[in-house]
Amino acid sequence: MVEKKLTVGYIQFQPQFGQPDKNISYILERLNKIKDADLIVLPELCTTGYAFNNREEAKTYAEPVPQGKTIQILLSIAKKRDMYIVAGINEKEHDNLYNSAVFLSPNGYVGKYRKNHLFNKEKIIFNQGDLKFPIFHIDDIKVGILICFDWIFPEAWRTLVLKGADIICHPSNLVLKNLAHRSIPVTAMINRIYIICSNRIGIERNLTFIGGSMIVDPKGNIVHRAPSDKEESYVTIINPYKARDKKITERNDVLSDRRPDIYEL
C-alpha cells in the first residue's frame, strides 16, 4: 500500500457573536489564502459565536444540517478548493439544538458529530449528542471528531481509536487555562494518533478564549502551536499512516496489550 501524505491545518480566529454572514465571509477569505490543503479544521461554533445567554437566543442563530446557509457556502469552497473541512456549527433539528461539527468533502456533505459532553452553561442550551462517535474517511484514512470539552474524557478518544481513527479533529472554544493544552499531547501519545485542535481567541460576554490551536503527532510531539491571542492559519504535511504503528517497544502495543477482560467494574 502506498502511504498517502496529507496537508492538514487549522484556522484560529475570533468569531463575531451573532454575525454568521460576517464570520463565514472571514472564513472564506482565510480559506482562499491557504495555498494548498487536504483537511482544514475550524473552531467550535465558528459561524455564530459561543456565549449564548439562553436556549432561545441560540435558536435564533441555529441552522439545519446540511441545508443551512453557512454550511452550503462551506460546501462550495470545499468543492472549489478540493479540500475537506471540519467546522463547528450551531445545529437545529426540529425543536432540538446541538453543538455539532460537520465533515465536508470536495464531493459534498459527508456527515456530522454532535458534542457528547456539554460544558457548563451548554447544558441548558444544547441537547446532548446522540450520534455516538462516527468515523469519517479521506480515502482509506479514518478521521474522528471531538468537540472542546470532550477532551477531558479519555473514553471518547479511545473509542475513536478503537474504531480505527488515524486523525482526530478537535474544534474548540477552550477557556480553561493550562488544562486541554497539557492533556492533548499526552492523549496523542498514549493513543498514537494525530490530533488537530482548532481553538478560537478573543473575549465574548466575559468569556476569554485561550487560542493555542495545535497539531500533535502520534508520539505526542507538538508539530505547531498557535499563540494564545492572535489569529493564525497554519498547515503542515503529515503521514497519517504513522498513527497505525501502535508499538511502544518490540513487544508492546498500546492496543493489542489491552486487557478488556479485566477492566470491568
Residues labelled as active-site residues: 44, 115, 148
| Residue labelled with grid coordinates 470539552 | 149
**CB burial class (10 A; 0-12, 13-18, 19+) of residue 164?**
middle
Residue type, 107: N
Q: Is the peptide bond before 66 cis (omega within 30 degrees of 0)?
A: yes
Can you tell me the distance from the alpha carbon of 175 to that of 71, in angstroms, rounded to the nearest whole number?
Answer: 26
Can you tell me the distance from the alpha carbon of 43 to that of 157, in angstroms, rounded to the nearest whole number?
Answer: 18
Can you tell me the distance from the alpha carbon of 46 to that of 171, in angstroms, rounded to the nearest whole number?
Answer: 9
Q: Which three cell numbers stand for residue 240?
A: 497519517
Can you tell me the distance from the alpha carbon of 107 to that of 82, in angstroms, rounded to the nearest whole number?
Answer: 8
**6, 238 contact by CB (below 8 A):** yes
**CB burial class (10 A; 0-12, 13-18, 19+) of residue 169?**
buried
CA angle 103, 91, 42 (to 5 degrees): 45
Can you tell me the distance from the alpha carbon of 47 to that of 13, in angstroms, rounded to the nearest whole number?
Answer: 11
Of residues 135, 99, 91, the one with CA closest to residue 118: 99
